[in-house]
Amino acid sequence: IHSYDSVIVHPYGDIMRSIIIAIYQENVKEIFVVGIEDKKTSSVNLQTQRDFIKDKIELDYLFKNCMPEFASGSLNQWLSGQKNVSENIEKSIDMIRHHPLVPSNVKVRGFRIDRTGEKEVVVKIPTNKVAKKMHSYV
């Protein structure tokens, strides 16, 4: 499942839904959360993104007639994502591991691909942090 950011924003959003369906329909036993850190993603030009979006849709109408709620706070934060790739991966791992619909036998691992230097480096993300268990609504 590919996303432009390595963080799962909502425990019952589309990405998490796809993960859960894959676990049960495809008999997935191991999940890898991979984030990429490179020069392109570390220096996101928000103004260019905003201008591009404004050219495509009428944002003024959207904000005058309905105020969308962004998980990250503002439109800029939502578009740019979180800056710390490793932290994003850790949050996603915790969300998957502690989700009430994910079986406890499914292994979840995290990796960060670092393309900021001359060589591409793959770094394993430590996942021994304990997160708060999510509430089950089922």
Reported as a single tens digit per residue, the pLDDT across 58-80 is 666 666 667 666 666 666 666 66
Exposure string (b/e) for 36-68, b if CB count within 10 Å is 16 or more?
ebeeebeeeeeeeeeeeeeeeeeeeeeeeeeee
Question: What's the total number of domains in the chain?
Answer: 2
Domain CATH code at residue 137: 3.40.1050.10
Q: What is the pLDDT of residue 2?
A: 75
**101 with 114, same domain?**
yes
Kindly state the DSSP code that residue 31 receives in the 8-state scheme: E
Mean pLDDT across the stretch 13-22?
94
The domain boundary, picked from 80, 107, 126, lies at 80
Q: Which domain holds residue 121?
A: 1-42+84-138
Tens-digit pLDDT profile for residues 86-134: 888 888 999 999 999 999 999 999 998 887 777 777 778 776 654 444 4
**34 with 57, same domain?**
no
- pTM over 0.95? The answer is no
Whether the pLDDT of residue 14 is over 60: the answer is yes
Query: Does residue 63 or residue 38 have the better pLDDT?
Result: 38
